[in-house]
Amino acid sequence: MTEATGEESAGRDPEAVSTFVERFAAQMVEAGMTRMPSRVFAALLASDTGTLTSAQLGEQLRISPAAVSGAVRYLAQVHMVSREREPGSRRERYRVRSDQWYEALTRRDAIIKRWEDALREGVASLGADTPAGRRLSETLDFFEFIERDVAEMMERWRVYRDEKYAR
């Protein structure tokens, strides 16, 4: 990494940062995320400020501006990063916040609710007593079960986070 990213000036070993970024990105790919967004997200997560420009990401990851743009577009769509304008400039900075995981999971709740609505319609359309209707009904029960647990877990997380990080 160069001083443009600020990591060397923070006393970090650029090779160690790069190794973390690539290993963490590989874990995200293993979990189903595409490679370039995983690398960009990991680089943002590993930066002290949680923000980098397209040029900084391209330089650090050795990727093209188009690759950065595509990765950021995907990450913004799934609410894992946000875009910010640099004051007095047309350049954008991309930001990952410390509560990014919480926010991404919370937003998934709306998607799960839409899936539940569609599954209810499917059960009604296909008939609850048909093999397909029973399969859809079990899937609906699974999502409703998960939704309850996630809501409770997120509330426990907020309390824990506030206590641990004095928010």
| Cα 26 to the center of its chain, rounded Å | 14
How far is CA 106 from each of CA 65, 76, 81, 94, rounded to the nearest angstrom? 30, 15, 14, 21
Q: Provide the 3-class DSSP secondary structure of residue 76.
A: helix
Reported as a single tens digit per residue, the pLDDT across 125-157 is 999 999 999 999 999 999 999 888 888 888 898
What CATH number is given for 3-95 in this structure?
1.10.10.10
Query: What residue ranges do the domains of the chain occupy?
Result: 3-95, 100-164
What is the DSSP-derived secondary structure letter of residue 149? H
Contact 94, 79 (CB under 8 A): no
What is the average per-residue pLDDT within 55-77? 95
pTM (predicted TM-score):
0.73
